[in-house]
Structure 1
Amino acid sequence: MTRGFVLVLSIVAFFNTAVWSKDPLQRNLGQDPNSISNSSLMLNYNPKARSFWVSTTSGKKVFVKGLVPKANFIKVEKEAVSDPAFGKGQALIARDADGASVSFTLYLSQPFLFIRQSIKNTTYGIADFPKLSPVSFLLDLGKPVGQLKTLGTGGLLDPDKNPGSYVFLTCVDPVSRNGVVTGWLTNEKGSGVVFSHIKNNLIEIEPRVEYGHFRLPAGKTEKTETLLVGYFDDARLGEEQFAEAMAKQQNIKLKPRSAVYCTWYAEKNGGAGTESGTIELAGFIKNQLKPFGLGVLQIDDQWQAGNQYNGPHRGFDRVDPKGGYPNGMTTTAKAIKEDGLTAGIWWMPFSRNHQAPEFKDHQDWFAKRTNGKPYETTWGGTSLDLTNPEVQHHIADYASRMHQWGYDYFKMDGLWTGTVTEQIYINDGYKNDSIGNCLPLHNPLKTQIEAFRDGLRVIRKATGEDVFLSGCCVSQNMRSFGASIGLVNSMRIGPDFNHDGQSIRTGAIRASRLYFLNGRVWWNDPDPSMLRESGESTADNASKGIGSLTRARLLPSFVAVSGQFFLSSDWLPDLPLDRLEIMKRCMASHKGIARPVDAFDKMLPSIWIATDKKSGTDRNVLGLYNWETSPQKIGTSLSRAGLKDKMTYYAFDFWANKPLPDLSGSFAWELPSESCKVIAVRAKAKHPVVVSTSQHISQGMIDLLKEDWDGESLSGTSKLIGGDSYELRIAGMNDGRNWKLSSALIVGSPQGVIIEVLPQAEKGWLRVVIKGKESQVVKWKLKFKK
């Protein structure tokens, strides 16, 4: 019995050792007490220096030096840990004598070091923490600091010129793209910021969480926000993985989006529009643009009644009978829905006017400044105290009522008012907004950021999952940036169109530096693409050529290729046909991966690549954008762009509607001022292939569901839009052999669908047109002979 028992134990021990050895976290557990590692990173503690350093697992790249917890710790302990979102891991925990700590954790599948501070109130009263900095550290990327850049919410800047970035900061060598991403995984109670400085010829990183007031009862211990730090050969991929980690932490499941019409900027029926105008617009969209992706008609500010004291009217529960919607908002919502569209509405959820008669007996609903006066800001009105149960009921009632009217899309403006901070417009890089310049809230143990998040949860609970919540906008005060993640479906990531004097560049600048959030934590809203003849409608636009068709294509093309949230705000019934054509080809959203190629080279990138492999075929689209008011030569190498360096590619220019010479090695084109090129590229395959389609600027990513070659036939499955001529642009007729088309047919012969082969006018290329009266999915087959 004893020998058998020992034998069983030995086998089990051997099996466990074999299994654990495959797991670098577990393999390392119980060995060096001052080191942990996973497949990406290794963390080591130096007891003599009382500091940590971080390297890649191979140990060849030590990128974090002098990592020091900002706590008087007396010991460092090693522990196995587990997290509901990230699974098993190992931690080194620096503890002080009173029970506070800073933990450093590596999880098996995550390329980041997780850093989290735990604080304890050892006094006999409530302790108030205005801000906390858990650590500081130095970054070594193996290059002189003068050759490095930092990219954050303030843009691409030298490390010592960056004012500080909200939520994240990327430090990068622009030449190699090697870099370190530092970011706050959570912003539950505090607002995470990251600062950079120069110290000892290295970049010093100072992460900070700002609370205003974080009040902790006597004897209580509480964990704070979580910071992530990771090294990446391509820092763009690091930013994307940072966003994916936030989505995992918050359990974000993105709501589907369609293009949105916003009434605000329209040259006719602008502002909130009118009942008759909005109903007319809905009918136009149904007949002309809905099949191409425009699915939401959103009524903006000025529909509501209520008194006006500071900024917009805030009577969101009433409509002025003398205003633009005399029959109430339900009538218009019903008409919009009858046309197959989603009805959207604007409101400011977190502020009212304390001067309004209806709030005379509810002054306790408002947050107060330290001088006791209601917390009022320019245009923002008076911030509501979102910890007050009566206020929560009030907001829920408003949200529920608008939903009952028939509105399933909320544009929520002035969100920063819910954080009880000053308006800092325009806010990108860090600015002092005097967070904490208020008296304790109704619940004094709730921080301002915590109260803000609770307010968003109140709206979601009141409306259910049916309503699409669109945030607006982080540039009013960046405290609403990290605090909104996980609680809104889209977010305006910049100020109002041209409010910073950047014209069509206003939204593109912010959408580029925050591109990695799009499609992962929310949809980036860069504000509407203006297509009207007069551009921004300023008096001198005509002399500048601002109304040109090439300029009108620039911003919509950027939004479409980069996969951002498409919005329109021109009066569509009067828009010329060539402008409507731009909308049709740009409104729908592809589901591929889009990245800026020169993200670390310039403040506003000029080259993007979108890639999609879901159909089984590699589809790549290059977007080249000249944002300057003078001609520019734009280009790079294929490998830099994300294509294969030794491959030759067919190329098709979408807006020029023509093939380009084959690409190999590199590419460059001279682009006129404020213009773009959108080019589909497809690797040569020694047989005919579909390079481009005509339906959308992504040229097959949305509409071409499948493509196959069986040795003599090219077949595919495509989504047609009723009444829209659908063209396949096929290259490779002279690739490998001289291929001749022998037949073209629609499989199954659906009623009303025809296929036509156009006369061959371009060497090596073939164009085939498919037309159908109804929107449908069709299968087609092209047979070739050698």
Structure 2
Amino acid sequence: MFKTIKSEVFIGKSLIKSNDFDNRAFSFKLEETDSSIKGVLTAKRDIKMHSLEITTEKEFADDDLFFKNGYQSWSTTREVDKDFTFKGLIPLAYTLGGFPKYCAGIMSDYGFGDFYNKKGCFHSYTYTYFRKKGEPNITLYGSKTERKGFTLFIADMQNGAFTIKKDIEGLILKAGEEYEVFDIAIINDEYEAAFDKYFFDFVGVKEPKIKHLAGYTSWYNYFSKISEDICLRDLEGMDAKAKDCTNIFQIDDGYQTATGDWLSTDPKKFPNGMKYIADKIHEKGYLAGIWLAPFCAQLTSQVAKDHPEWMIKSEKTGRKVLAHLGWGGSYALDIYNDGARNYIKHFFDVILNDWGYDMVKLDFLFTQCYFPRGGRTRGEIMCDGIDLLREACGDKLILGCGVPLGACMGIFDACRIGCDANKVFVGDIVNKMGINNEIPSTQNSMINSIFRRHLDGRAFCNDPDVLFLRDNNLKFTEEQKLVLGKINAVCGNVLFVSDNMGDYNDKTVEYVKNFFEDKKYEVKNAEFINDTDVEIIFTEEGVEKTLIVNLYTGEGNIFDVV
């Protein structure tokens, strides 16, 4: 039973801290059963919430595992035990503080949560579970919705405590107003059965309308240096070598003159425009996909210059806030501004209906909700943003990316479940610096694919990010290529390469067909067996296989199971 409460509330400008369920700011009613936790707050006066959490004692043994679900798509997600320490930002960011820390941590919750660098102390967003090492049964705790605010489950495995916290910073309530803080299911069952009950019975999502996508995306070879010639050449290559196992061709970042100016196509790169590319993709019989960061507006973009009133502003200073460092820095469009909303709807209408794209990959969505505003929590803002995107896209396919997952479950058709893979398998200098947990990393990408595999076919169709099979512009051994490819295929159903498949030899064509084929995989168990190695026991078309691999070197038995 959760017997302890801790809250921080503003009454006027005074911050009131309390450990009472009934205090001068509010009363809190908590109802618990073996299968649910519900908590409702009633304001006694006009208040502005800052935080609220409930805690119970819970003992943890050496073989207990806690599932840590990261803040957004790219945030590292895995099972951890009481001896593990989850690192946060690069130490220099904590030393400098202020704006440098904000910049280093802008992609996640480092600026509003102190949960990192503590041995045995972890937090998980939206849902979590406990299990014993090697055991199939779990105890799952999951929030029904994040529309009231993000839900955090915090395990202090060293000190024997389990906390449930609601991120309600900025929430404004009037005297007498009720607010449902917690609506949480507790499910004890076998791993797969527990997630079926959570997503389908409790959250109420429907199975995604797409089951399997495989094909090409331009980003992980050329990045923003794409062109009409490159895209059409690679389209021909895919069609020649992998037509029978691919169904989508997606254009990524680099076609637009500036991020935010989505209908302004770079005339040098794409002289015939983006409708022409979509038509060429359709002529080959593939779905046409295109990338956008719909909430972002590059500092130098025309939309940022012409409409500064559309951008999110600080409630403290009234100035536009820096939402992301990409593209030389960008602002974020405020979804509660009518002009910004209409602008977003307009460019989607053109891209989807005039240009004719079938799928949009929507990236950097976390930029919308970093700052609570207007009396709304981060979770409420993010959910409102997701609703706007679905409204604007109608029934066209949406592939989400860089988004808090609890806000888009059952709404997006597909979603990235990990960070970008790095084209250097062992990591580059940025990885070695350890700036944050969201930067491109092949290791973290694979870890997320393994431990978020349960989302596939339930919350949405899993996109584990690309696999690499080319020989150029890449630092992977053959073994490392196959490890990434197999993990992606087993744990996801949106499978991409950025290679010119026209360059593939016969052996590589067989590999891509092996990974891209729509096969039936079932994972029986997956866990770390030491600090570096994972063991994945799975069936492939009914045949049981066991993959044991060092995620940091790629060494293992991949050649036996591929």
| Fold shared, TM-score > 0.5 on shorter chain | yes
1:611-630 CA-partner distances (Å, limit 9, x unpaired): 66xxxxxx233141423577
Aligned mate of 2:308, from 353, 358, 363: 363
Higher share in helix: 2
Contact 2:261 2:302 in 1 (8 A): no
TM-superposed deviation, 1:678: 5.6
SS of residue paired to 2:220: coil
Distance 1:407 1:187 in 2: 30
Alignment of 1:161-240 (within 5 A): 161-198=120-157, 203-232=160-189, 234-235=190-191, 237-239=193-195
- 2:214 aligned partner: 259
CA spacing shift, 1:263–1:175, aligned 2, 3 Å: closer
Q: Over residues 681-707 of structure 1, what are the superposed CA-to-partner deviations in whole Å (9 max), with x where a residue is unaligned?
A: xxxxxxxxxxxxxxxx7xxxxxxxxxx
Q: Among residues 332, 335, 339, which one is paired with 2:280 in the alignment?
A: 335
Change in 2 beyond 3 A, CA 1:100/1:148? closer
Distance 2:205 2:175 in 1: 30
Task: Indicate the residue corresponding to 1:401 in structure 2.
Answer: 350
Per the alignment, in what secondary structure is the counterpart of residue 2 of structure 2?
A: strand
**CA 1:253–1:528 in structure 2 vs 1: closer, same or farther (change >3 Å)?**
closer
Correspondent of 1:530 among 442, 456, 468: 468
CA contact (8 A) 1:261 1:567 kept: yes
1:565 aligns with 2:510: no
SS state of the match for residue 386, structure 1?
coil
User: Residue 272 of structure 1 contacts residue 300 of structure 1 at CA under 8 Å; is this kept in 2?
Assistant: no
Query: Which residue in 2 is equivalent to 1:274?
Result: 227
How far is the alpha carbon of 1:276 from its aligned partner? 2.6
Task: Provide the secondary structure at the position in 2 that maps to 1:605.
Answer: strand
| Larger proportion of strand | 1
Alignment counterpart, residue 116 of structure 1, candidates 38, 46, 60: 38
Contact 1:509 1:604 in 2 (8 A): no
Question: How far off its partner does 1:183 sit?
Answer: 2.6
Name the counterpart of 1:492: 416
SS at match of 1:589: coil
Q: Contact 1:512–1:605 at 8 Å: present in 2 too?
A: no
Partner letter of residue 481 of structure 2? A
- The 1:592/1:265 distance shift into structure 2, 3 A limit, reads closer
Aligned to 1:383: 332
Can you list the C-alpha shifts for 1:233-292, whole angstroms capped at 9, x where unaligned?
Answer: x4565355434446x4244544333113110122xx553632133223223323331212
Check if 1:472 corresponds to 2:395.
no
Distance 1:237 1:398, change over 3 A: same
The CA distance in 1 between the partners of 2:341 and 2:533, in whole Å, is 41
Answer yes or no: is 1:459 the counterpart of 2:415: no
Alignment partner, residue 32 of structure 2: 104
2:105 counterpart residue number: none
Equivalent position to 2:66, from 144, 150, 156 = 150
**Measured at CA, do residues 622 and 514 of structure 1 come closer, stay the same or move farther in structure 2, by a change above 3 Å?**
same
Matching residue's letter, 1:119 = L
1:413 partner letter:
D
SS at structure 1 position matched to 2:351: helix
Whichever residue aligns with residue 411 of structure 2, its letter is: L
Distance 1:116 1:600 in 2: 36
Distance in 1 between the 2:539 and 2:80 partners?
Answer: 26
Deviation at 1:603, TM superposition (A): 6.7
Contact 1:121 1:221 in 2 (8 A): yes
- Within 1, Cα distance between the matches of 2:509 and 2:347? 36
Deviation at 1:374, TM superposition (A): 0.9
- Give the TM-score normalised by structure 1: 0.57
Distance in 1 between residues matched to 2:505 and 2:377, nearest whole Å: 51
1:190 deviates by 0.9
Matches within 5 A, 1:545-560: 546-548=476-478, 550-560=479-489
Change (3 A) 1:527 1:388: same
State percent identity of aligned pairs: 21
**Structure 2 length-normalised TM:** 0.78
CA distance in 2, matches of 1:256, 1:515: 14
Contact 2:218–2:250, Cα closer than 8 Å, also in 1: yes
Q: 1:318: how far off?
A: 1.1
Q: Is the 8 A contact 1:168 1:184 kept in 2?
A: yes
Q: Is the 8 A contact 2:3 2:56 kept in 1?
A: yes
Cα displacement string for residues 351-383 of structure 1 (whole angstroms, at most 9, x for unaligned residues) = 214554544453221112223221113226112
Whole-Å separation in 2 of the counterparts to 1:602 and 1:208? 29
| 1:132 is the counterpart of 2:52 | yes
Q: Determine helix, strand or coil for the equivalent of 2:164.
A: strand
Deviation at 1:223, TM superposition (A): 1.8
- Partner Cα distance (1:567, 1:483) in 2: 24
**Contact preservation (8 Å) 2:532, 2:550:** no
Matched residue SS, 2:204 = helix
Corresponding pairs, count = 486
1:174 and 1:600 in contact (8 A); partners too: no
CA contact (8 A) 1:305 1:315 kept: yes
Distance 1:171 1:513, change over 3 A: same
Q: State how far apart, in whole Å, the 2-side matches of 1:177 and 1:603 are.
A: 22
Please say if residues 250 and 291 of structure 2, whose CA atoms lie closer than 8 Å, have aligned partners that are also in contact: yes
**Contact 2:292–2:362 (CA<8 Å) still a contact in 1?**
yes
Checking the alignment, whether the CA contact within 8 Å between 2:443 and 2:551 is kept in structure 1 is no
Output the CA distance in 2 between the equivalents of 1:597 and 1:227.
Answer: 26
Q: Give the number of the structure whose alpha-carbon radius of gyration is greater.
A: 1
Q: What does residue 627 of structure 1 align with?
A: 550
Q: 1:414 to 1:180 in 2, by over 3 A?
A: same
Q: From the superposition, tell whether residues 254 and 608 of structure 1 become closer, same or farther in structure 2 (CA, over 3 Å).
A: farther
Give the conservation status (yes or no) of the 8 Å contact 1:561–1:621: no
Q: Do the aligned residues in 1 keep the contact of 2:200 with 2:206 (CA within 8 Å)?
A: no
Q: Summarize the alignment of residues 571-582 of structure 1 with structure 2, pairs less than 5 Å apart.
A: 571-582=500-511
Tell me if the contact between 1:354 and 1:374 (Cα under 8 Å) persists in the aligned partners.
no
* C-alpha displacement of 1:529: 0.4
Contact 1:354 1:366 in 2 (8 A): no
Q: Structure 1 residues 296 and 678, CA, compared in 2 at 3 Å: closer, same or farther?
A: farther
Aligned to 1:482, the other structure's residue is in SS state helix
Q: Of the candidates 367, 370, 378, which is equivalent to residue 417 of structure 1?
A: 367
- Pairing 1:6-85 to 2, within 5 Å after superposition: 66-68=1-3, 70=5
Q: Structure 2: which 5+ residue stretches go unaligned?
A: 8-20, 70-76, 83-118, 433-439
Aligned 8 A contact 1:453 1:487 in 2: no
Which AA in structure 1 matches 2:198?
F
Give how far 1:341 is off: 0.5
